[in-house]
């Protein structure tokens, strides 16, 4: 596969993935998630796409750095041993590699993401 110099991401057109992400475990409520990977770098070093999730709490362990632009919804993200961070529509933020903590999704989320894999 060879990507063009500028790749426009489709709006949730890739095959949806409804299994929990690796390292994510539901710990409160009955949350669900759906992921669409709309872009993969030719060298496999990053992916980008869309993610949706319903209210509830996930315990998450990150193996990679992630940039997030939250389009809809809200969450309280709490690193283990750290202070909670509330995020809402329009917020853009980074989750560092090796983050461990919780995502308490308080309103259904739609986000764009970019994950550095290598």
How far apart, in Å, do the first and last CA atoms of the chain sit?
A: 18
Return the CATH superfamily for domain 32-116.
Answer: Jelly Rolls (2.60.120.10)
The set of residues, in sequence order, having a beta carbon less than 8 Å from that of 30 and lying 6+ positions away, is 54, 56
Residue 6's pLDDT is what? 87
**pLDDT tens readout for residues 50-106:** 999 999 999 999 999 999 999 999 999 999 999 999 999 999 999 999 999 999 999
Domains of the chain by residue range: 32-116
């Amino acid at each position: 596969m060879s990507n063009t110099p500028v790749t426009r991401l489709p709006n949730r057109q890739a095959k949806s993935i409804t299994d929990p992400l690796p390292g994510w475990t539901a710990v409160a409520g009955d949350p669900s998630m759906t992921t669409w990977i709309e872009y993969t770098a030719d060298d496999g070093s990053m992916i980008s796409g869309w993610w949706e999730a319903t209210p509830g709490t996930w315990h998450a362990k990150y193996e990679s750095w992630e940039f997030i632009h939250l389009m809809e919804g809200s969450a309280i993200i709490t690193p283990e041993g750290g202070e909670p961070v509330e995020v809402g529509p329009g917020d853009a933020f980074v989750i560092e590699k090796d983050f461990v903590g919780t995502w308490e999704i308080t309103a259904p989320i739609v986000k764009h993401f970019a994950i550095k894999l290598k």
